[in-house]
Chains A and B, each alone.
Chain A
Amino acid sequence: MNQPKKKVGVFSITCDEGCSIYLIEIFNKKLVGWLEKMEIKYFLSMKDKVEIKDFDIVLIEGVISSERDLREVIKIRENTKILIAMGTCAMTAFPSGQRNNFNAEQLERIQPKLKEFSYLPKCLALKDAVTVDDNIPGCPIDEKKFIEVFEKHLNA
């Protein structure tokens, strides 16, 4: 029996998008096989946006830096069965959340920007805001680990 294809979303919040770029490199070898089991519903690097709704698996890279990021992550969580933190940023808030380590003087200098664009006082890792089902470490993601974790959920 053929299982219905899993609906997959890849989202980027505050970061350098290194993990999703590396994911597209992992696709070089894996995409053709995976497409038999999945449908990519959301991936701004590859297609136009669609509504955030009804995902089976979502991968998020980056840190939650602004109120807008936070709203987006909460909405994604409400609309996916599995949420995977992709890369060290999403797991630990670093390196993209480097401002969390700034000293008082540095913080004062960036304060106006934080206000102007409604940034949160500190950058958050995904797990600080929502429930995370799985993690793929690395900066960028470790290829073997990605394949292992992603295929586990794809085949579930």
Chain B
Amino acid sequence: MSIVAGCDVGSLTSKAVIMNGQKIIGSAIIRSKARPEESAMAAMDEALGSAAKAAAMDKPLAAAGTTLNQIAYSVGTGYGRDKIPFINETRSEIACHGKGARWMVPTVRTVIDIGGQDCKAIKLNDAGEVENFITNDKCASGTGRFLEVMADVLNVGIHELGEMSARARSPIMLASTCTVWAQADVIKYLNSGYLLEDIGAGINSAMAKRVAILANTIKVEKEICMTGGVAKNSGVVATLEKILGHRIRKIRRADPQLAGAIGAAVFAFEKLNGQQGEKI
């Protein structure tokens, strides 16, 4: 079996995944650096390190190479894709998120990916190929950056925002589309003494509404799954389910934030094994 890798250099985070056949043997999610080359190298180093650790604990995987030279083929994606030094080819994040989501949920037909400054809704056909997609063109208010800004204002970690929706009694309403003005609204609510969880729930709802507008444009079909870091926010997911009127399949096979990098690695695997060869 050959080792393949996928590297997704995004605007906020960079991800790397190393795969051996159908198994992820190493992965990493790091904060993106100023230069995409640095981000890619740092993410890959960390992924290689995690592969080495996994190999040390799991004897059957000890054969897995843990140096860059032993990776037979790798694919890059994300904004910095053209600057990743060690890859063999690039693919768009649309294709990679579609491919990665398909690998995690084989029955998926609609992928909603929320990245750092991008929000995408991707429709896949029966074969798992991209049939149609739409991305946010107007502004970046329905993206991960929006949640980051809001979490900073509330002085909580971004991972803490999600569960606030479940605890909220009367979520606030955020009318402003602009992230900066929504931030001003949040500050106003804080100054007026509103509960943190009510504000957090309002933030999650505002986010979900923006994403729903995009998703509805391409008419979602089941199964639906969410990828990207925001998929880990249970508040956004729950509100989105309500608005779309569909359940969103929970991804358990891997961290949904890794979807783009996984998709890239799967493309690398397919390339190595020929288009007609084994499909993961």
Q: Do A and B bind each other?
A: no
